[in-house]
Amino acid sequence: MIKALSLFELNSLVADVIDSTMSRSYWVQAELSEARENRGHCYMELIEKNEGSNAPIARASAKCWSNVWMLIKPAFIRMTGQEVRAGMKVMLQVHAQFHPQYGFSWIVDDINPEYTMGDMMRKRQEIIRQLKAEGVLELQKELHFPIFAQRIAVISSETAAGYGDFCNQLETNEYELYFHVELFPAVMQGDHVEQSIINALNQINSREDDFDCVVIIRGGGATADLSGFDTLSLAENVANFPLPIVTGIGHERDESVLDMVSFQRVKTPTAAAAYLIDHLASTLMRVENAQTQIVDSVRRALEVEKMRIQHIGIHIPVLFSVVRTKQEARLDGLSQRLLMKLKETMKQTNFHLSTLQSRILPTLQNRLSIEQHRLEILEQRARLLDPSLPLKRGYSITLCNGKTVRNAKDLKIGDTIITRLEKGEVESRVERLS
């Protein structure tokens, strides 16, 4: 009969083997697929991926007990500026532990923050290399910052203290300059930083003509977790944005890829406000200087013109006398020439009229004789057509309704007719027609 071990006995055996053969600690490189804290302990899921296919080729669980975690966590954050999170590559010092009840796990004794910093730097350098290859790393620097930059689009957390400080500094600036600020809320910490800021940029881009520049600020609290500002997609969006972008998302020692591609990087939200105020104040100074220069130039020009007018005024009497003499002589000359010209023209005109008269008079006399003879002929014809002549010879004219009757058919029984004789008229009524 085969004697079997209980599961507890088997696990205890495995625990003894591991304790005896793997008693020392090991440094291991891995990526965190999960990292969470519970009651002061940190529970991690480690993963290694194939470089070609990015498929997982190894997995393991790891735990860091609270007595160790409370020591290594602050040191890690202080050096890297970030908390331990999923997606981060880490170098852990671990030792093996197999518990009969809970199974196998790696127990974390330490974390090497320099390795994580190196990996972060490698990722950042890769993003920068990609931006240079695309030719967009310096695009923002080539933009022209408007000299009257007063319409400001702000991307920030609505409740961030830094946003309040930014607005307050703009409103209470010593030059009493006016700024119009419109907030486009975005998540400024955590896993959603990238997409949230890109969404805000898209909203601003749809209203590009309403703004002069964009300010991305992140104020208040620690500077940990700046990884959301070190992504290729966000950097490309900022680099290609049509308006100049000012960033104030960290302290002096923190420079993200977003800072590198922006038009201007400043330390804090208040520094961003100071940058805008100083820029507009510089414009105001230029305007005031130009105003002063214009006033001075006009004043000098007026003085020069005044002196010139005074100089001319002194010489006007003499000049006028000379000009008057010249003009009077000129007018006399013109008058003599005009008079001579007029006499010559009148002489020529009189001669022309005499010539025309000598030519026209015979023609008119001949024409008048012809027309007079023609009128005499017409007068004779008119006399021959005088209706009173037939009446003197014994003829009569019959009228009906004032019209001459030429045909008996034009009359009807009952019509009243008038017969006009040489002397007098006879009125008749038609009784019969034949």
Strands (E), 218-261: 245-248
Q: Dump pLDDT digits (tens) for 387-420.
A: 777 777 777 888 888 788 888 777 888 888 888 8
pLDDT at 220: 54
Among 127-141, 155-169, 223-237, 368-382, the minimum mean pLDDT is found in 223-237
Other residues' Cβ atoms within 10 Å of the Cβ of residue 229: 25
The β-bridge partners of 151 are 180
pLDDT at 118 over 80: no
- Please report the DSSP string for 346-383 in residue order: HHHHHHHHHHHHHHHHHHHHHHHHHHHHHHHHHHHHHH
pLDDT at 150 over 90: yes
Helix (H) or strand (E) holding 79: helix 66-80
Q: Dump pLDDT digits (tens) for 237-259.
A: 999 999 999 999 865 555 788 99
DSSP code of residue 239: H
pLDDT at 226: 67
pLDDT at 151 over 90: yes
pLDDT at 109: 93
pLDDT at 224: 47
CA–CA gap between residue 165 and residue 339 (Å, rounded): 93
DSSP code of residue 236: H
- Are 120 and 80 in contact by the 8 Å Cβ rule? The answer is yes
Average pLDDT over residues 76-104: 85
Here the tokens at position 331 are 């007018």
Average pLDDT over residues 333-355: 88
**Most confident residue range from 164-178, 209-223, 419-433:** 164-178
- Are 200 and 184 in contact by the 8 Å Cβ rule? The answer is yes
Higher pLDDT, 316 or 43: 43
Average pLDDT over residues 294-319: 86
Average pLDDT over residues 152-156: 96
